[in-house]
Amino acid sequence: MIDNFLLLFDYPVLSADLALNGLLIGAVFVLAAFGMALVWGVLNIINIVQGEFVMLGGFVALMAAEAGLPVLLGIPIAALALFILGWGLYRLVIFRVIDRDLFVSVLATFGLSIVLQQLSNELFGADVRTLEAGLGTLLLFDGAVALAQIKVLAFFLALGLGLLLWLFLKYSRLGQAIRATAQNPRAASILGIDTDRVYAATYALNAALCGAAGGLVVMAWAIHPYIGLPYTVRSFLIVIVAGIGNIGAVVAAGLGLGAFENVAGFIFGTEYQIALVFLLMVLVLVWRNLRLQRKRMYLK
């Protein structure tokens, strides 16, 4: 561990390499976390299927490439396919659990995630799959920092989609309906908003975001039918830290998480990487609780 610290001092540029690579890893988490925050905020559902949507997005991108389409086109295709799947799942399962206890919806989406895992195992096989986007590497600082361009693409896609999402929620008709429904579903429906449709659109949008993330995962890393859980856990964590109503905070938390993971993994050894992520979450929650307590005291 101390060796690793010293190594960072011997090669200062290494920390830039680690942090930048980490930011790019975080970008994919950000995409999945956008969706989770949306669904949580609007439908009041903690969507455990998140990771499976990512995984399915990867397989869709893979199939699109195998069908002879340009590899990068797989990302929007995955988003589109997952949008349709998300809509279908809403109509089939999710609408039934919306007004129920949080526990019921967690259970339902957990069940869905197992079903999707097993189905993809049947359909695509259990092998580890990858897809080459053929983008090459971006070298910075005389080659001391090397970033895979597909990850750079993921980063800007996450930022771009975040901005689009923000604009969409703020200015578009549907976006306003989504926000209205999130604030008060009853009032929204009295004012003529078809809340059921809003829910369906929100859920489908979430799936589409995850689908795009999945397309990036298969091109930058690897996928298999059981890869979903880490993505669910990460997006859950990001949303807990960032809160559900703030897209900027989701971006910051996601990228920060990625960078923290990578640097912590380097210093303390990769075996503690995940544990440290959770430790960080606990610390953030404790800190936030303390701050809230102070606020509460003022209120008294």
What is the binding site for other proteins (CB under 8 A)? Answer: 4, 7, 10-11, 14, 17-18, 21-22, 25, 121-122, 125-128, 130, 132, 137, 139, 143, 146-148, 151, 217, 221-222, 224-227, 229-230, 261-263, 265-266, 269-271, 273-274
Residue 101: φ, ψ to 5°: -55, 150
Q: How far is the CB of 243 from other proteins (least distance, A)?
A: 25
Q: How many CA atoms lie within 13 A of 8 on its CB side?
A: 15
Q: How far is the CB of 210 from other proteins (least distance, A)?
A: 15
Residue 22 or residue 41: which is nearer to other proteins going by CB?
22
Task: Give the whole-angstrom CA distance, residue 77 versus residue 56.
Answer: 12
Residue 174 or residue 280: which is nearer to other proteins going by CB?
280
Q: With CA atoms as reference, report the closest residue to 288 among 248, 253, 262.
A: 253
Q: With CA atoms as reference, report the closest residue to 223 among 90, 134, 127, 289.
A: 127
Q: Are 213 and 82 in contact (CB under 8 A)?
A: no
Residue 139 or residue 187: which is nearer to other proteins going by CB?
139
Could you give the C-alpha distances from 172 to 79, 165, 245, 249, in angstroms and in order? Answer: 20, 10, 17, 21
Q: How far is the CB of 4 from other proteins (least distance, A)?
A: 7
Residue 99 or residue 127: which is nearer to other proteins going by CB?
127
Strands, E assignment, the chain: 137-140, 145-148
3-state DSSP helix/strand/coil % of the chain, to nearest 5? 80, 5, 15
Burial 221-239 (b: 16+ CB within 10 A, else e): bebbbebbeebbbbbbbbb
Residue 143 or residue 192: which is nearer to other proteins going by CB?
143
Q: How far is the CB of 270 from other proteins (least distance, A)?
A: 5
Residue 16 or residue 249: which is nearer to other proteins going by CB?
16
Q: How far is the CB of 25 from other proteins (least distance, A)?
A: 5
Q: How far is the CB of 161 from other proteins (least distance, A)?
A: 20
Residue 12 or residue 192: which is nearer to other proteins going by CB?
12
Q: How far is the CB of 130 from other proteins (least distance, A)?
A: 5
Query: How many other C-beta atoms can be found within 10 angstroms of the C-beta atom of residue 180?
Result: 18
Q: Are 170 and 245 in contact (CB under 8 A)?
A: no
Q: Are 277 and 237 in contact (CB under 8 A)?
A: yes
